[in-house]
Amino acid sequence: MSVGDLHHLEIWVGDLAVAERSWGWLLTALGYRERVRWTGGVSWSRANGPYIVLEQGPDVVATRHDRLRPGLNHLALHAGSPRDVDALVAEALQHGWTLLFEDRHPYAGGSAHYAAYLEDDSGFEVELVARQASAPDGPSAPTT
């Protein structure tokens, strides 16, 4: 690990069971495994890399997340090939995710950026990015 590498990401949720329906399924589909579970929370990781936490605790204000307000807009995860992204989208709809920017999917981030933008029942957005032959990494285009 290097200085500056991501250590973990913690997402506070209003309802852990609802969040696990969407996030638990997605993270497992992307190769994450449950790492630790406690009353009110669970974490997932891949090998020895950064881990992702979902936590419902007494300090959480149980309101819907609004990705358009200051704070986290979305989490972008590598999701394999374009075919892998398509398969995840097809199944995600059965696990509490909604496809965003449907009219521009899968190029909502631009003509050289194959990705799916999904929103869960609590308003959190995830971007599933397909492996590209020579596309540079950088911020994706959708801002709404």
For 73-120, what is each residue's pLDDT tens digit? 889 999 999 999 999 999 999 999 999 999 999 999 999 999 999 999
Domains in the chain, CATH or no CATH each: 8-56+73-129 (3.10.180.10)
Rounded to whole angstroms, the Cα distance separating 76 from 85 reads 12
Whether a cis peptide bond, with omega within 30° of 0, leads into 106 is: yes
Q: Does residue 23 carry a pLDDT above 80?
A: yes
Q: pTM here?
A: 0.84
Phi, psi of 134 (to 5 degrees): -145, 25
**Predicted local distance difference test score (pLDDT) of residue 61:** 73
